[in-house]
Structure 1
Amino acid sequence: MDRNRLIELFTKRESGILTLPEARELNEYLKENPSDSQLADLLDKTLQGRFHQQDNFDSAQLKKRLQRIHERLSQEDITPANADDPKGRIRKIVRIIAAVLLLTIGCTVVYRQFTESNPVDHSKNILTTKKGSKSNLVLPDGTKVLLNSDTRLSYNQSFGKEAREVTLEGEAYFEVVKDARHPFIVHTNAMDIKVLGTVFNVRAYQNEKNTQTTLLEGSVEVTLNKRNERNLVVLKPHEKIVVNNNPDHTAPLTADEMPVADISVLTIKTKQEDSSILETDWTKNKLAFDQVSYSEVFPELERWYGVTITVKDSSILTRKISGIYENESIGDVMESLKLATGFRYTIDGNRLKIYK
């Protein structure tokens, strides 16, 4: 792996935007290169693993950060790559850490410039993933969360002290630490999910027609954000609840507009070959469809690969497909869909056009 690629992966990891394939690439490289694995450990210690979006860095602060790097290096036992040139090894480490530091600060500055024109509540922690990326995180209570692409998760600074509540827009997989005194609650536009300690998946993209909660282990209480006699639903393992948001995709339904018929509790299907389920295939970097129309497939491809898709013939959108794609490029996926459906397409950078 060349130096620029290593710096890129380190920077994405520190910025929290490392994708699953990139994480595997970095982990495999570090296993095969113990000296650079030592560099990764030193990087974590030096940067302390986090930058805050509200941080402001001037030249004096940057110099202090770089001075800390030199101090850390003087304290660490760095094994030189070449025994005859230990100083060369030190210089390499300084250059890489300094590059990661500068690039990570750059990411922070871009985020801050965005939030200056889009004010946010700084009493909340806000975690986001871009289209084409996923992110792992651990909440203050030890709960593990995997965020799918184009997802936003927020929680108060006081999380875990009096309550454990998060707000989700997008998709996330939760492994919740048990705490009977502090139930864990996920708020979405269509429903609130309350658990004590369990494993479940929530899909709540605002531009999709359904919001779904899928339970793998334990139990959850789902409160529907509407007034009727079925506003509380308790799920059992291997069940999911599907709530129809808005078939027209124009504006969210109000509490009184959503009929009971638009709420379903279903038993999820387990695949015989590996006992996995379609609803959580994305956590294994698998893109899975089961008789899904192209009107839903194309937005999913946009999120998954960070591309823009334009459909020139709307009749294509009603067609349905099934398939599982694992670690495949957008070109490979499109070729497969082309063979299955017979449409034509062009790719220009990250822009795709679909023709009949």
Structure 2
Amino acid sequence: MQENYLAKWLNNELTEDELAIFKKSKEYETYRKIVEASDSLAGPDFDMANAQKRLDNKRQQKKGKVIALNPLKRYLRIAAAIALIFGASFFYYTNTLDETVTTQFAERANIILPDASKVLLNADSQVTYSEKSWNHKRNITLKGEAFFKVSKGERFTVTTDGGTVTVLGTQFNVENRKGFFEVSCYEGLVSVQFGQNEKKLPAGQALMVVDGQLRTFETIRRNKPSWLTGESNFKSIPLKFVLDEFQRIFNIEVSTKNLDLSQLFTGSFSNTDKELALQSISVPTGMKFKLKGNKVLFYAEEP
């Protein structure tokens, strides 16, 4: 049988002669039975409108999962994270944020604490305290020098790098500079801790620690520190601390040449008159000085 007879027969395109030949072939009877069987099979009804609707629904459901649902979850997670951060920040702000007051060279500050205690802060100094927790914990951190008038009440503590001062209600002065720590009690009683030592200072007594060593106990003859009356007083203090104080009070850059900065100085200088202060420092020590603009050189003449 020619190969194209089957195709023509299925398409009803055979001529009478070709059809007669095809019917005589061995394959014809098999093909005839297949065609008859296939004609008896009925295909399922196909509703185009319903099919399109189902397809649209599936697409919409799939679209909702990708665009609507997941972003919502993501936004909720972001919102929760923001809320957590905000809450933590608010808790930190309201519970741990401290008050800090700082003075520069040639500057002082008066501070009223929450219990009406007063702090007079000297030049180049800083105090830090928590206003929120002050009523049940009167703690203050000091860098530099300050005079305290403490209202009576619970324990009042001043913490410095050089030591810690504890009182209930009194007036005292604390100076804490690099290598220098001094506490003077003007009223009441203070407890001073430095290193492994603890000393009690009644009114009229002062304690000084220089380079970690306890230097003196002094009797105070004044009712407040000298710097509050416009002077800086020193008794057997290494010269380097005197010059540092001059620099802080007048905001003048100090340099030295041929000087022994460990030599002890006893005297005072004015906090309001620069020229007088220079003379008060230089004359007792026999040193010279050159003042130019905002700089001063203290020096010793070579022999």
Q: Deviations over 1:224-276 (max 9, x none)?
A: 3x3x4xx4322211122223445xxxxxxxxxxxxxxx335613242xxxxx2
Match of 1:172 among 140, 146, 150: 146
Offset at residue 347 of structure 1 (A): 1.5
- The equivalent residue for 1:188 is 160
- The equivalent residue for 1:289 is 234
Matched, 1:349 2:293: yes
Q: Quick one: higher RCO (CA 8 Å, sep 6+), 1 or 2?
A: 1
Equivalent positions of 1:270-289 (< 5 A) are: 270=221, 276=222, 280-289=225-234
- The equivalent residue for 2:176 is 204
Distance 1:293 1:267 in 2: 17
Match of 2:283 among 322, 339, 343: 339
Is contact 1:140-1:159 (8 Å) kept?
Answer: no
Matched, 1:307 2:277: no
Q: Secondary structure at the match of 2:101?
A: strand
Distance 1:309 1:162 in 2: 44
- The equivalent residue for 2:199 is 233
Matched, 1:158 2:132: yes
Offset at residue 134 of structure 1 (A): 1.3
Distance 1:157 1:330 in 2: 38
Distance 1:337 1:233 in 2: 32
The residue type paired with residue 295 of structure 1 is K
Is contact 1:154-1:168 (8 Å) kept?
Answer: yes
Matched, 1:124 2:109: no
Matched, 1:148 2:122: yes
Q: Deviations over 1:17-50 (max 9, x none)?
A: xxxxxxxxxxxxxxxxxxxxxxxxxxxxxxxxxx
Q: What's the C-alpha RMSD, in Å, of the aligned pairs? A: 2.3
- The equivalent residue for 2:217 is 266
Match of 1:243 among 199, 209, 229: 209
The residue type paired with residue 195 of structure 1 is V
The residue type paired with residue 267 of structure 2 is G
Equivalent positions of 1:55-94 (< 5 A) are: none
- The equivalent residue for 1:29 is none
Offset at residue 155 of structure 1 (A): 0.4
Query: Against the structure 1 CA distance between its residues 263 and 130, is the aligned structure 2 distance closer, same or farther, given a 3 Å change threshold?
Result: same
Query: Against the structure 1 CA distance between its residues 327 and 188, is the aligned structure 2 distance closer, same or farther, given a 3 Å change threshold?
Result: closer
Distance 1:190 1:322 in 2: 23
Is contact 1:190-1:245 (8 Å) kept?
Answer: no
- The equivalent residue for 1:93 is none
The residue type paired with residue 313 of structure 1 is N
Normalising by structure 2, what TM-score?
0.62
Q: Secondary structure at the match of 2:266?
A: strand
Is contact 1:313-1:355 (8 Å) kept?
Answer: yes
Distance 2:215 2:298 in 1: 33
Offset at residue 327 of structure 1 (A): 4.8
The residue type paired with residue 169 of structure 2 is G
Is contact 1:154-1:166 (8 Å) kept?
Answer: yes
The residue type paired with residue 203 of structure 2 is P
How many residue pairs match? The answer is: 206
Structure 2: where are the runs of 5+ without partners? 1-94
**Bigger CA drift: 144-153 or 333-342?**
333-342
Query: Against the structure 1 CA distance between its residues 122 and 236, is the aligned structure 2 distance closer, same or farther, given a 3 Å change threshold?
Result: same
Query: Against the structure 1 CA distance between its residues 313 and 234, is the aligned structure 2 distance closer, same or farther, given a 3 Å change threshold?
Result: same
Distance 1:197 1:183 in 2: 8
More strand by share: 2
Offset at residue 320 of structure 1 (A): 3.9
